[in-house]
Structure 1
Amino acid sequence: MSLTKTQELLALMARLRDPEKGCAWDVKQDFHSLIPYTIEEAYEVADAIERKDFDDLRGELGDLLLQVVFHSRIAEERGLFNFEQVAAAISEKLVSRHPHVFADVKFDTDEQRQQAWDDAKAEERRQKQPAQQTESVLAGVAQSLPALVQCEKIQNRAASHGFDWPEAEPVFDKVREELQEVHEAWQSGDQPHIQEEIGDLLLVVVNLARHLKVNPEIALREATKKFTRRFNYIEKQVEASGRELRDCELAELDGLWNEAKIHLKAAHKDG
């Protein structure tokens, strides 16, 4: 009987991890050493999606799957769990978190569905806790997440338990307040205080994004790409003049920046 591609992949990883016949690099890896590769592969999946390169996406998803298989193999060798148990766990989780699909529960709004999802996740976290140990509603958010993602998740947790502004308008006021505090800290020259106030400003901007139903991580990534396109335009114009950026006055570069905005928007490359 021929192996499925999943079984073949698992067998290949087992061979690579064989201490005698495998690959020396693969054999010496552990959970911790694989962290940067796992994170990198997840970002490369996101990059392929953003570029709409779906041939590349297929390959990047395979690379990400390899990381799951790699971690699962290490766990199996240590007697912790195996790939089948990983697949079984997520299958059980999907069923429990979708009672409106797999049971007779009905939700009238997206908010009700989201609340049920949050409640199911909270119950899963409670089941992992030792008896009589109270867990914070903010527990379980990975510390290694990008700061914007982590901040949004923390705020969503707090909001789901009632700690949130009921509407967006007060958040605009809070942004203005925090911006003023940054300015005052800057005037004081106290660098640690400036950093603290910048952090407070970023946190409340993430809160504003939540209220406006904008993903702050995606918004910043798109803004950074826009900045890059415009800066690349400036570089090309300066290069065409036979000069380097450092040869130009800021006023000229600022003028080219405004020109880039008009040019790229006309070319449908900018927002």
Structure 2
Amino acid sequence: MTPDASDALVHDPKGGMPRLLEIMRRLRDPQSGCPWDVEQTFATIAPYTIEEAYEVADAIEREAWDELKGELGDLLFQSVFHAQMAAERGLFTFDDVADTIADKMLARHPHVFGDASNAKSAEQQVQDWETIKAEERAAKAETGVLDGVARGLPALTRAVKLQKRAARVGFDWPSTDEVLDKVVEEAQELREATDPDHAAEEFGDLMFVMANLARHMDIDPEEALRAANAKFTRRFGAVESALARQGRRPEDSDLAEMDSLWDAAKAEEKARG
């Protein structure tokens, strides 16, 4: 692409995907690009990719539809960034990324794009999806039951995925009651831990069992914890507001008073339903 054509494209407000790809290419240009963008690697960009995915989820959770377009754009930019770095190393291009996911969607939806029957329940189609994914893992020589569960997932999410895989081959508690018993057992082992390393290990075991409990109760532990975080933030904000009306801050108060204000905020929330 000539310099003039490149300039015209990057300044075209309707340039779409080609415009974004050209902007990314120019940001990474070793001679004329942005020094920060040029020095980035897959490893340094990966945390931003995860962060942007969470910001998309946050906008959806808050039903902030006016923000969602921008957050999806930020997430798309992460894919473009990784693809540009891959292209520079001769690994693959953005078009290869798009073609790969398109091929995967065709392969995983034979009931839409192939000859398979579409007269199935959503549950049956999920089972078919899992069968196809198992075949894909086998083609990659991922023969272990737990192979292919991404290490970069949030720990609670990965715990649930590992447990689901194990459950498929019968390695699972038969009911929620046994999991609850295990929660009590792990909590006691944490109580009895004798040093920081041992306590960290036992705490991890307890969290893993709690993820298992969430799975048995059909609860998304990440979503449940996000909701708990939001509730804590909301109620602590009410405590701060109550103190501010008196011209004070939390550090000017004590636990007993703040706990009382917390209970008042909690009661008010429940009264509002």
Cα distance in structure 1, aligned partners of 2:253 and 2:43: 47
The reply to whether residue 158 of structure 1 matches residue 127 of structure 2 is no
CA contact (8 A) 1:115 1:160 kept: no
How far apart are the structure 2 equivalents of 1:94 and 1:190?
50
- Displacement after TM superposition at 1:5 (Å): 1.1
Give structure 1 stretches of 5+ with no counterpart: none
Q: Compute the TM-score of the two structures, normalised by the length of structure 1.
A: 0.86
Deviations 1:173-207 (A, max 9, x none): 2222222322333xxx4332222222111111111
Is this contact kept in 2: 1:72–1:83, CA < 8 A? yes
Mapping 1:226-265, distance limit 5 Å: 226-265=231-270
Q: One-letter code of the match for 2:17? A: T
Q: For the structure 1 residues 33 and 248, does the alpha-carbon distance in structure 2 shift closer, same or farther, using more than 3 Å as the test?
A: closer
Deviation at 1:248, TM superposition (A): 3.6
User: Is 2:90 the partner of 1:68?
Assistant: no
TM-score, length-scaled by structure 2: 0.85
For the residue of structure 2 that corresponds to 1:32, the secondary structure is helix
- The unaligned stretches of length 5 or more in structure 2 are 1-8
Structure 1 segment 115-130 matched on structure 2, within 5 A: 115-129=127-141
For each residue in 1:25-68, what CA deviation from the matched residue of structure 2 results, as whole angstroms up to 9, or x when unmatched? Answer: 32222222211221221122122212221121101111111111
Give the 3 Å change call, closer, same or farther, for CA 163–234 of structure 1 in structure 2.
same
1:46 maps to amino acid: A
Q: 1:186-238, CA deviations, whole angstroms, 9 ceiling, x for partnerless residues?
A: xxx43322222221111111111111111100100100110111111112222
- The alpha-carbon deviation at position 148 of structure 1 amounts to 0.9
CA RMSD of aligned residues (A): 2.4
Among 20, 42, 48, the alignment partner of 2:53 is: 42
Q: What is the distance in 2 between the residues matched to 1:162 and 1:267? A: 45
Matches within 5 A, 1:1-271: 5-103=16-114, 104-105=116-117, 108-129=120-141, 135-185=143-193, 189-267=194-272
CA contact (8 A) 1:209 1:215 kept: yes
Deviates more, 1:211-220 or 1:157-166: 157-166
Note closer, same or farther for the CA distance 1:196–1:16 as it changes in structure 2 (3 Å cut): closer
CA change 1:167–1:97 in 2 (3 A) is farther
Count of residue pairs the alignment pairs up: 261
CA shift for structure 1 position 69: 1.1
The 10-residue stretch of structure 1 (93-102 or 70-79) with the greater mean CA deviation from structure 2 = 93-102
Shift of 1:108: 4.6
1:82 shift after superposition: 0.8
Give the letter for the 2:146 counterpart. Answer: L
Between stretches 40-49 and 61-70, larger displacement belongs to 40-49
Q: 1:19 to 1:227 in 2, by over 3 A?
A: same
Q: Once the 2 structures are TM-superposed, how far is the Cα of residue 265 of structure 1 from its aligned partner?
A: 3.0
